Structure 1
């Protein structure tokens, strides 16, 4: 009997593994990507900001949206599906405005200091 009681007592004193912490915020694709990394995203068009700048929406994106900058005018409208390939960049309206002909700064305030995708190729799915 003594062995049985002792065996049970020693198991209870063994250290128990601590559970792995789970993130409370799901990091999106762009949040995980380093600046300068090539990325391809397929998502729906949320809205067109200016001639060559548009916002796409998908659950795997940071905050659900991503600003896409292209040197070619955007020929799409919500909720079309697009596939965009390009390079992850830090978004600064002041630094990127002339290159992408962004227009007035107001629509870009929510993206300032965040990440954007400088597109090399945009495919619009019909």
Structure 2
């Protein structure tokens, strides 16, 4: 299976966990709101990549059953995961990004600092599940 990486829109209860990207000029969308995820490591499946990146970036150990939706977009995968709101207490922020916060999906979709590709992908999910 050919892909370069994976991202996960992670719902904790009704809100999304978002990461404020670093302000580095050599990364895409510096200072924008991102979801956990990143590049594929050798031999990983898309799910393996998504789960590993979530642990590395926010310290949450998701299981495959937490992933409720997925779709491949070109060379990357986009997942949606659902966990209870109280999992916010388990977050251990990694060393990438300026910080994290919870955001209602509507607020993410309308935020000028939301990454456009992820806005479109989240809209795909919400339109199919009628959560918006």
TM-score range, shorter chain: under 0.3
Highest Rg: 1 or 2? 1
Higher relative contact order (CA 8 A, sep 6+): 2
Structure with greater proportional helix content: 2
Structure with greater proportional strand content: 1
